[in-house]
Amino acid sequence: MVADLQPPTDDDLLTTEDAEAFGMFYDRHVHSVLGYFARRTHDPEIAADLTAETFASALSARHRYRPDRAPAGAWLFAIAARRLADFHRRGRVEARAQKALAMERVPLGAEDAEMVRMLADDAAVSLLAGLPAEQRTAIRARVVDGQSYADVAGGHGVSEPVARQRVSRGLAALRQRMGGPR
């Protein structure tokens, strides 16, 4: 009888000193972290930079990870949230320092930038998929495409108050799905 080999858990991957194990953890989570940053920064290069910073922080802090305190994914996203907060805090100062030192950020290639955009779009699509069609299209037009309520209303053949109501109800449903207040 062949033993049933289970893939290692995230906890297993983080609690070993094996570099390949952390590589597996990275492979499991890099797309979700990259999508997280892409949705919040709307800039593929910044999203890639923050993703790299997050995994570098996770690699150096993995000896402090305790499986009994939080799941590995939550631990990783707590690090990601801190990197994002740091980015917002230091953003302007860092840009000025880079300019003063004549430092240029290495740009992402077109394929990498497109992948980051696609990850952000896939996440948005999956969140919107369960909404009624009229709410989904109104949210996409208002929130994703940045149209005014007047443009949303005109594009969907409804009044502006109806467009506002569709967006409002759709966002309330999304908040509820995500466990937030309605």
Task: Record the tokens describing residue 123, joined without a space.
Answer: 């996440």
pTM over 0.85, yes/no:
no
Q: What is the CATH number of the domain that holds 163?
A: 1.10.10.10
pLDDT single digits (tens) 81-111: 999 988 888 764 455 555 555 555 555 566 6
What pLDDT shows up at residue 76?
93
Nearest CA to 41 among 128, 152, 131, 119? 119
Question: Domain boundary at 84, 116, 148, which?
Answer: 116
Helix segments in 5-143, DSSP class H: 10-14, 19-41, 44-61, 72-100, 110-128, 133-139
Coil, strand, or helix at residue 39?
helix
User: 138 with 96: CB under 8 angstroms?
Assistant: no
Please, what is the average pLDDT of the chain? 77
Can you list the pairs that 52-57 forms with residues at least 24 positions away whose Cβ atoms lie under 8 Å? 53/83, 54/79, 54/80, 54/83, 55/26, 55/30, 57/82, 57/83
CA distance 79 to 11: 16
Q: What's the angle, vertex CA 80, arms to CA 76 and CA 33, rounded to 5?
A: 75
Q: What is the mean pLDDT of residues 58-85?
A: 89
Least confident of 34-38, 74-78, 145-149, 162-166: 145-149
Q: Is residue 16 part of a domain?
A: yes
Question: Domain boundary at 65, 82, 116, which?
Answer: 116
Question: Domain boundary at 116, 139, 166, which?
Answer: 116
CA distance 117 to 112: 9
Domain with 65, as residue range(s), is 10-116
Give the number of other CB atoms < 10 A from CB of residue 45. 15
CA distance 80 to 33: 7
Same domain, 90 and 139: no
pLDDT of 52 strictly over 80: yes
Least confident of 46-50, 122-126, 132-136, 159-163: 122-126
